[in-house]
Amino acid sequence: MAVCHVTKAVDLLLRSGGSHHVEFKSVEGGTLLYWGGDLYPVPDSRQAIFKDTTLQLREKNLLFRFFKLVQAHIAASAAGAAAAGEGEASGRLSDEDLDLPFVEFLKRQNLSPKMRAVVLYAIAMADYDQDGVESCERLLTTREGVKTIALYSSSIGRFANAEGAFIYPMYGHGELPQAFCRCAAVKGALYVLRMPATALLVDEEKKRYVGIRLASGQDILCQQLILDPSYEIPSLDMPCNAPVSNLPRKVARGICIISSSVKQDSSNVLVVFPPKSLEDEQITAVRVLQLSSNLAVCPPGMFMAYLSTPCTDAFTGKKCINKAIDVLFSTKVSNDLEDHLEKNSEENKESVKPTLLWSCVYVQEIIQGTSGTALSCPMPDENMDYRSILESTKKLFTDICPNEEFLPRNSAPKYASDDDSNSAEALYST
């Protein structure tokens, strides 16, 4: 599950011309944090902190001070320090602070456990329990945390009519590869639909893949073959029974169809369950993205919810996902679906949890990219943005074409309506 953070992914779509083929809508409901059995809005900006009625005055003051400190560091880093060794006088955090575990830095700012959870898991997007410094699989440093906060903060308000830091593509993430494929087709590439490959062609002498055979029987020869990482093909460089060096990481995922929104008067919303919020044994954050029919991902009157969490084994991962489902949704469903939806619209939605109409929980292995005679990028992981996907894609391109620039600005196809092609607003649909 990945929400499109307003980041380099947007810049890449604009630069490549892909913005002509995909539209986004705002996750206008913002982010909710599950804490102490209730859902709370995430105070992710000065305005949100000021409006939040659940925060005590001391918590507001400490959060204001923390964000002011971070913003000063971001501004100083962007402008560059006037002289080496100016330290705090320039507004920058010291290297000692930047190398600290982020959770320790937050404790030094006297933030409460709830506010630390807000910063760590809802804004900095940490996946693993940061309080277990010695046992944490992925410990976030202050440097990494501040970098993600900078990304998050710059995303808020980038679009005039979009609230929050997140946007999501109309019709789902399948539109993104299609947008880039259409750009490639405009530039002269072959973009073939409904024509699966049935076999790989091998040069036995040179021990390399040289092409594919299509279902039509036609052979397509190529110098570079790039495949979906989920395809398991035998390596030509090692025996078939060679041991696998690393076990793939796992992500537990859930897909739910629900009757109403988890947040009244909001269509699209992100919910974060920090580690240990569902049970003491929970060591990873669970994130839930609720989407509505205005994104064309479900029928009118219903909502889709996507859940995800990294896990070490299938049992633990599914257990966390199912606990989150039990917290957010009611499983009492009328025998007549239409009757149920009609009754639900008449009830007080403030006191009634959304009804779970259908669900599916599964565990996905995150297969890493491959190199050699057949190339692939890693599969989408548990992250909420496209940074890792873009980095791996750029690396793959650089390996294939070391002397070429990755999607240079002048590579965008020319369209009839290019007046707004360089504007981020061209991506956003109200």
Q: Select, from the ranges 130-144, 172-186, 307-321, the one with the highest average predicted confidence (pLDDT).
A: 307-321
**26-40, 83-97, 192-206: segment of lowest average pLDDT:** 83-97
Per DSSP (E only), the strands in 133-196 are: 166-169
What pLDDT, on the 0 to 100 scale, is given for residue 100? 94
For 404, the token pair is 């070429």
What pLDDT, on the 0 to 100 scale, is given for residue 322? 97
What is the value of pTM for the model shown?
0.85
Q: What is the pLDDT of residues 144-159, one digit of tens each?
A: 999 999 888 888 766 6
Instruction: State how far the Cα of 354 lies from the Cα of 344, in Å rounded to an integer.
Output: 9
What pLDDT, on the 0 to 100 scale, is given for residue 361? 98
Instruction: State how far the Cα of 83 lies from the Cα of 371, in Å rounded to an integer.
Output: 43
Q: Select, from the ranges 252-266, 375-389, 390-404, the one with the highest average predicted confidence (pLDDT).
A: 252-266
Q: Judge contact between 381 and 309, C-beta under 8 A.
A: no
Task: Write down all domains in the chain, each with its CATH number in brackets.
Answer: 4-167 (1.10.405.10), 249-366 (3.30.519.10)
Convert 394-416 to b/e letters by CB count within 10 Å (16 or more is b): eebeeeeeeeeebbeeeebbeee
Reported as half-sphere exposure (CB side, CA atoms, 13 A), residue 276 has a value of 9
pLDDT grade for 426, boundaries at 50, 70 and 90: low
What does the radius of gyration of the chain's CA atoms come to, in whole angstroms? 24
Q: What is the pLDDT of residues 246-272, one digit of tens each?
A: 667 899 999 999 999 999 888 999 999
Query: 269-273 and 31-35 as β-strands: parallel, antiparallel, unpaired?
Result: parallel
Q: What is the pLDDT of residues 289-347, one digit of tens each?
A: 999 999 999 999 999 999 999 999 999 999 999 999 999 999 875 555 555 555 555 55
As a whole-number percent, the residues of the chain with pLDDT over 90 amount to 45
Q: Is 323 helix (H, G, I), strand (E, B) or coil?
A: helix
Q: Judge contact between 351 and 267, C-beta under 8 A.
A: no
